[in-house]
Amino acid sequence: MSGHESIRLGLIGTGLAVEKLHWPALRRMPDRYVVTALADASAEQAERFATAAGLTAAARTTDHHALLARADVDAVLISVPIPALYGIAADALAAGKHVLCEKPTGTGEEQARAFLELPAAHPDRTIMIAENYFYRDDIRHARALVDDGAIGKLHLMAYRRAGQSVPREGGFSSTPWRQRPQYRGGVHLDAGVHDIAQIRMLCGDALRVHGGVQWANSTIDSPSDLTLNLTFASGAVGNYTACYSEIPLPAEPNDMRLYGTEGVLVLSGPEAERRVTLVRADGSTRTDVFTGIDNGYYGELCDFSDAVRHGAPVVATVAQSVTNMRIVLGALDSAERDEVVGLEPADEAGVPLWRPRGGAGLFDGLPGDRTSEE
């Protein structure tokens, strides 16, 4: 297709992830995308979303095969329960569509291997796994600082995430397939791969993991707690702790700290105000504050459209997603065996730092405000 045409996008699945995450970004990008059709297994949900999106009854269906047969669909965004991701992605590629598929790459190692075969089987199609953390402004800024040597040589990483997770109407935790997951690791394979993406962005690939889990949340049929020690290819070590608690927790810092030979980098703050603080060896500090950013979905959709329209490579490849996933699976293996587990070498070493196409900086053309405090 021409590099100036909007991509005709079909939505397969129109649940919470599309409503709350992808659709707000898509609405801001009419020069890149026009949604022409949608498919949802729930006729009621399909009608509701089509009405909200201004699509006619002819544009909606409950059968994704019917959507894939449409000539006015160039690419699809697949956002369905994890066990269904691989089958629909394979169907879409076979139908000649470009694919932007929600993470993770399947329910476990077997589906991950099947996902890895898709790019070679469809070399003329763009296949991207939706890992928005690869595109988040604060994480990319922190990565640029690390690359520029702002903290010297990284030797230790500490990352903590803890909060209450119980079913709430309208929230992701209320989804029945998340409460009784048919995929290994439950919340740690679903949400946790985002944190792993951040770890790999800033620390590089891991060689070995040692994990432990606890089941302390009766509202989810999966481990609620995961603690993970990692050894990185660079020689650095790190710890990641995630707690999805059934009971309310006190205020938690939920930050990531990177300790280097020349400084320390702290990533903190809620989505509304992300903060990246550099503490230099002389004790001076600089904090960059990011407000109004959308958690990376806008950038993610820019990368996908550039790949479809211009043939550019994407950052969030199938191989990158599988590497994220395998760290979680390795942690679960380690917990079951009570031993350190070695990881397979990454199919694509390291995560490239994404920059907007045609721009000179990290944030050209992206939404949000960025300020610095010395």
Q: How far apart are CA 54 and CA 258, in angstroms?
A: 46
Q: What is the mean pLDDT of residues 256-272?
A: 97
Q: Is 156 helix (H, G, I), strand (E, B) or coil?
A: strand
Q: Torsion angle, CA of 26/27/33/37, rounded to 10 degrees?
A: 90
Which among 103, 131, 360, 144 is positioned nearest to 267, based on CA atoms?
A: 144
In DSSP notation, 185-214 reads: TTHHHHTHHHHHHHHHHHH--EEEEEEEEE
In DSSP notation, 317-368 reads: -HHHHHHHHHHHHHHHHHHHHTS-EEPPPPSS-S------TT-SSSSTT-SS
Q: How far apart are CA 155 and CA 247, in angstroms?
A: 34
- Residue pointed to by tokens 């927790």: 249
Q: How far apart are CA 75 and CA 178, in angstroms?
A: 27
Q: What is the mean pLDDT of residues 282-290?
A: 97
**What Å distances lie between residue 119 and 77, 92, 205, 317, 336, CA to CA?**
16, 13, 22, 9, 32
pLDDT(2) > 60:
no
Residue 4: its pLDDT value, please?
A: 63
Domain ranges of the chain: 7-133+297-316, 137-294+326-352+369-373
Q: What is the mean pLDDT of residues 273-297?
A: 96
Q: What is the mean pLDDT of residues 164-190?
A: 93
Q: What is the mean pLDDT of residues 310-320?
A: 97
Domain 137-294+326-352+369-373: assigned CATH number: 3.30.360.10
Which among 312, 200, 214 is positioned nearest to 256, based on CA atoms?
A: 200
Tokens encoding 120? 């070679």
Q: How far apart are CA 328 and CA 331, in angstroms?
A: 5
Taking the alpha carbons of 197, 299, 294, 284 in that order, is the dihedral positive or negative?
A: positive
Q: What is the pLDDT of residues 207-247, one digit of tens each?
A: 999 999 999 999 999 999 999 999 999 999 999 999 999 99
Rounded to 5 degrees, φ, ψ at 119 are -60, -45
Residue 347: its pLDDT value, please?
A: 86
Q: What is the pLDDT of residues 10-57, one digit of tens each?
A: 999 999 999 999 999 999 999 999 999 999 999 999 999 999 999 999
For the entire predicted model, the pTM comes to: 0.96
Architecture of domain 7-133+297-316: 3-Layer(aba) Sandwich (3.40)
Rounded to 5 degrees, φ, ψ at 127 are -125, 120
Q: What is the pLDDT of residues 150-169, one digit of tens each?
A: 999 999 999 999 999 999 98
Q: How far apart are CA 320 and CA 323, in angstroms?
A: 5
- What percent of the chain is modeled with pLDDT above 70? 99
- Residue pointed to by tokens 């100036």: 4
